[in-house]
Amino acid sequence: MIDATSRRTVLLLSLAAGFGLWAVAFVVLYAMLSVGCAFGWDRGSLVLGLSLQRLQLLLLLGIFLALHVALVVGLKARQSRADAATDRFLRSAARLAAIAALAASVFTYFGAVVLTTCNP
């Protein structure tokens, strides 16, 4: 049985979950972009005219967007079991933040789909 204090601690931390995920996605995408450029993954095409560089970025972006959606859904599922008013407020705030983070990831990372990745 989790006591109320540690449950609130988890809830408080979940406020940062959405944008925490955004930050992790930023670091991973940026790092893998640079790794891909260093190894020349942008040259040539593997499948459907897409380079290995584009494919790995699309795959990573897809994974992170799926995690974002899972987070939003997960926070909703737990919402019904809320009891105290504080808990309800924290849950809905965390969920709204997670939705905002999903929108932020789509907005900031869609460049990975369309932009030139490496210096030609």
**Residues making contact with another protein (CB under 8 A):** 107, 111, 114-116, 119-120
By beta-carbon proximity to another protein, the closer residue of 37 and 67 is 37
Distance CA 71, CA 38 (A): 33
12 vs 103, beta carbon nearer another protein:
103
- Give the bridge partners for 50, in sequence order: 47
What single letter denotes the amino acid at residue 102?
L
User: What does the chain come to in residues?
Assistant: 120
Structure token digits, residue 60:
């990573």
Q: Which is nearer to another protein, 64 or 109 (CB)?
A: 109
Nearest approach, Cβ of residue 99 and another protein (Å): 13
